[in-house]
């Protein structure tokens, strides 16, 4: 038996017994988790470094690193570069009531969809990237921002999109914008100017995108989505001249557009129409191979949109458009009229983050973490909602959950709010709310595994009329 009690750092009582049948890494993970739950390790308590704890326990450093990583993924520990590993400020001890935990002023568990892990925004890497970028940026860049975006940033972004998404993106075809929503607004303005109306949109789709189109003077035509993606025959039956699609991971169903549908919609586009491709959640995939962007197959017919919102933070309001050459000058004019340009500081920092490889490293780390959280949500749903149908599990940061017909979903949502669990109903994502199936859209990226399991249990007990 080995007990940690180093004199070179904080002491931690955890036992490793080589005579027990359990693997050592499980013993260490279980022991630390139990110490946190029991209150022996208090919130914000500093943990020994992986090297020190490995020496104390007589185990490999890799074993300790893996144990820490698992507990970080579960929400029991927090690890930040430069400040070591600490016990999380908020952790759950398998509470029996929603009042036992508090993660925000309003909710115990927040399943808001479309949000990454905000606590793990790479602050140190971002600050380092900004310092390094500022050191080599000419002073004249700090004047009024070019509405198309900084040339050096567009160069770095061009290489990244080619490498990771197969996008044929020359720097002069890129316009930097304030997120995908502004990209949709600018696209709508240009299409209206060109007479390429009406515009169609997937049904279901992110409800705010319909609002953005409407505010741009475009009342979008809803076109149904099935298990292969948007119904191209139904699209062709409308008089739409452009369509907003999410082919890599449909929002919100998670469907990947099938090869036959891709071929059909590309044929539709080549007849003089445009595709607005929102490359939604393309970075996160768990159980399937990557799917390339459609823009590479028809760069003269596709307006490609991307953003940092799902990988870094929505608050950055940093996105990009890759445009057919004939649309670039028009989009730049509309962008200049909107806001003169996007923050140059954010472009400098993000461009350096791409060049250094820190963005790729952050993405890999979060992909592993989100895999564990997704799996926790799937386990919870299988236990408490065995008759529900889960969609979108192969990729992304949220799940769509369909319930049997006539299920009182609004009652469940309201009851969840009362119990401190924030959830969103699926029906508002449909153009005709009444036609949408009863369901929930559950984000899993910004909640720990223990919070996920607790939140799903609260939902399950509420749905079954059990005490919470």
Q: At residue 93, does pLDDT exceed 70?
A: no
d(CA 165, CA 289) in angstroms, rounded, equals: 12
Contact 399, 392 (CB under 8 A): yes
Task: Give me the pLDDT at residue 11, please.
Answer: 62
Lowest mean pLDDT among 5-9, 183-187, 239-243, 320-324: 5-9
- Label residue 296 by pLDDT band (50, 70, 90): very high
Question: Can you give the length of the chain in residues?
Answer: 468
Angle at 152 between CA 147 and CA 155, to 5 degrees: 100
Closest CA to 262 of 223, 299, 230, 224: 230
Task: Give me the pLDDT at residue 294, please.
Answer: 94
More confident residue, 52 or 99: 52
Task: Give me the pLDDT at residue 436, please.
Answer: 86
- Label residue 3 by pLDDT band (50, 70, 90): very low
Q: Percent of the chain, pLDDT > 70?
A: 93
Contact 107, 64 (CB under 8 A): no
Query: Architecture of 2-90 per CATH?
Result: Orthogonal Bundle (1.10)
What does the mean pLDDT of the chain come to?
88
Task: Give me the pLDDT at residue 369, please.
Answer: 93
Q: What pLDDT, in 10s, does the model give residues 140-173?
A: 889 887 899 999 999 999 999 999 999 998 999 9
Task: Give me the pLDDT at residue 329, please.
Answer: 97
Question: 10-19, 95-104, 400-409: which has the highest mean pLDDT?
Answer: 400-409
Q: At residue 449, does pLDDT exceed 90?
A: yes
Contact 92, 455 (CB under 8 A): no
Would you say the pTM of this structure is higher than 0.85? no
Q: At residue 460, does pLDDT exceed 90?
A: yes
Average pLDDT over residues 61-79: 83
Closest CA to 392 of 407, 377, 414: 377
> What is the fold, at CATH topology level, of the domain defined by 367-463?
3.90.1150
> What is the fold, at CATH topology level, of the domain defined by 123-356?
3.40.640
Q: What pLDDT, in 10s, does the model give residues 331-373?
A: 999 999 999 899 999 999 999 999 999 999 999 999 999 999 9
Domain limits, the chain? 2-90, 123-356, 367-463
Q: At residue 321, does pLDDT exceed 80?
A: yes
């Amino acid at each position: 038996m080995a007990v940690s009690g180093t004199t070179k750092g904080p002491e931690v009582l955890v036992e490793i017994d080589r005579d027990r049948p359990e693997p050592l890494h499980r013993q260490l993970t279980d022991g630390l988790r139990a110490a946190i739950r029991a209150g022996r390790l208090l919130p914000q308590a500093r943990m020994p470094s992986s090297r020190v704890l490995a020496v104390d326990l007589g185990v490999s450093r890799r074993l300790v690193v893996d144990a820490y990583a698992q507990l970080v993924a579960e929400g029991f520990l927090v690890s930040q570069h430069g400040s070591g590993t600490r016990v999380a400020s908020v952790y759950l001890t398998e509470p029996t009531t929603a009042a036992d935990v508090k993660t925000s002023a309003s909710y115990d568990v927040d399943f808001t969809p479309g949000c990454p892990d905000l606590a793990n925004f790479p602050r140190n890497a971002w600050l380092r990237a900004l310092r390094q970028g500022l050191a080599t940026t000419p002073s004249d860049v700090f004047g009024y921002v070019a509405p198309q975006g900084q040339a050096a940033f567009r160069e770095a972004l061009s290489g990244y999109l080619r490498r990771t998404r197969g996008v044929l993106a020359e720097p002069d075809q890129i316009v930097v914008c304030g997120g995908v929503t502004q990209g949709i607004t600018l696209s709508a303005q240009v299409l209206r100017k060109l007479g390429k109306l009406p515009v169609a949109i997937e049904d279901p789709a992110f409800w705010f995108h319909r609002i953005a189109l409407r505010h741009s003077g475009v009342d979008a035509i809803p076109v149904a989505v099935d298990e292969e993606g948007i119904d191209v025959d139904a699209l062709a039956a409308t008089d739409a001249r452009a369509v907003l699609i999410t082919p890599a991971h449909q929002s919100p169903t998670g469907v990947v557009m099938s090869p036959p549908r891709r071929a059909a919609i590309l044929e539709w586009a080549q007849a003089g129409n445009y595709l607005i491709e929102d490359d939604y959640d393309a970075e996160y995939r768990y159980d399937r191979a990557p799917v390339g962007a459609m823009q590479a197959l028809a760069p003269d017919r596709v307006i490609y949109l991307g953003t940092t919102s799902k990988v870094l933070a929505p608050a950055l309001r940093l996105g990009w458009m890759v445009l057919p050459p004939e649309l670039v000058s028009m989009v730049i004019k509309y962008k200049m009229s909107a806001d003169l340009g996007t923050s140059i500081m954010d472009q400098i920092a993000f461009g350096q983050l791409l060049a250094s490889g820190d963005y790729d490293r952050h993405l890999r780390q979060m992909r592993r973490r989100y895999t564990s959280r997704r799996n926790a949500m799937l386990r919870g749903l299988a236990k408490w909602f065995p008759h529900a149908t889960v969609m979108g599990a192969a990729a992304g940061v949220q799940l769509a959950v369909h319930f049997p017909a006539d299920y009182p979903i609004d009652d469940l949502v309201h009851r969840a709010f009362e119990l401190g669990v924030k959830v969103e109903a699926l029906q508002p994502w449909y153009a005709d709310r009444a036609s949408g199936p009863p369901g929930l859209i559950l984000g899993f990226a910004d909640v720990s595994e223990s919070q996920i399991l607790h939140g799903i249990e609260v939902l399950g007990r509420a749905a079954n009329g059990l005490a919470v």
